[in-house]
Amino acid sequence: MENNPEMQALKDKVVVLESMLNSLTGYVEHLEKSKLNKNEVISAINISNEEIRIQGDKIHIDGKTLVDNEVKGVTKNEDR
């Protein structure tokens, strides 16, 4: 079989894709092993196109904070 540059380019791409797939598979396996159970999760940040939700028993923001629109459900808390 003669040396076809197009065929070699395709083979090279397959090698790169196989390498990427192996890396992703390894990363997924790592994530599965390191998952926390529900009782171990202390806080969470959930991001979607519609909102960002930060959940936790206490949330401390250290630094200047910018709020562009109204803030709902705000209560004054003296227990800092």
7 three-class SS: helix
Tens of pLDDT, residue by residue over 15-50, are 888 888 888 888 877 777 776 665 555 566 677 777
Cβ-based neighbours of 54, under 8 Å, separated by 6 or more: 43, 44, 45
Q: Are 56 and 44 in contact (CB under 8 A)?
A: yes
Per-residue pLDDT band for 6 (boundaries 50, 70, 90) equals confident
Alpha-carbon span 26 to 23, nearest angstrom:
5
| CA nearest neighbour of 47 among 36, 39, 55, 57 | 55
pTM, whole model, 2 decimals?
0.38
